[in-house]
Structure 1
């Protein structure tokens, strides 16, 4: 897996399960991306999005008991491409963001890279 489309890309990971976040970080780094930050709750994710310059994000569809609608809206408002990465189905995604790519956990590393490359365009 070369992931050349991710070479030099700066990615944000929003995931509440530390082991999954660390696995995503490794997958993205192996594909040439730089993970500029990780967040595990809505407030931290919104602060991260506000302060960091990045190219795309991987967003869990649910953070503990918090809905991620505000995060998805902030990413969209900033014209930042993102993909959902979740154990939940599309019915659990924010309704106005259901057109976004959804990767089901556990995801194949190559599928994660392909989805991000497609989202980045």
Structure 2
């Protein structure tokens, strides 16, 4: 997993158990979790100020959509993946070019999407 080793990731996920599973998958792939947040407000703060290589964004954060965070990441030129149970249909047209990972997912699916997003798949 050398292509992912050492990359720092911002995890945005409102379900605690799911966040722990995602963090473990990312660590198993060699990534380092720079920050893990569960609310839109904290995600926006982290997106603006944390140091990370990419982000994994749950689309629905307890009824609030994560798209303002995605806008911040676009401005900062940080790649990201949407993680959602809604599939691509839950992502607005403005983000049609973005990578979408459908929940639930396996570590293999996560690795494939990360490699696709980072351009080394």
Smaller-chain TM-score bracket: over 0.9
User: What's the counterpart of residue 91 of structure 1?
Assistant: 89
Give the SS at the match of 2:109. Answer: helix
Root mean square deviation of aligned Cα: 1.1
Q: Considering Cα pairs closer than 8 Å and 6+ residues apart, tell me whether 1 or 2 has the greater RCO.
A: 1
Instruction: After TM superposition, give the deviation of residue 34 of structure 1 in Å.
Output: 0.3
Q: Deviations over 1:69-99 (max 9, x none)?
A: 1011011111111111111122221331122
User: What's the counterpart of residue 57 of structure 2?
Assistant: 59
1:34 paired residue among 29, 32, 35: 32
Instruction: After TM superposition, give the deviation of residue 114 of structure 1 in Å.
Output: 1.7
Give the SS at the match of 1:22. Answer: helix
Query: In the alignment, is the contact (CA less than 8 A) between 1:6 and 1:32 conserved in 2?
Result: yes
Q: Which stretches in structure 1 are left out of the alignment for 5+ residues? A: none
Moved over 3 A (4+): none
User: What's the counterpart of residue 24 of structure 1?
Assistant: 22
TM-score by length of 1: 0.92
TM-score by length of 2: 0.92
Query: In the alignment, is the contact (CA less than 8 A) between 2:87 and 2:101 conserved in 1?
Result: no
Give the SS at the match of 1:45. Answer: helix
Give the SS at the match of 1:106. Answer: coil
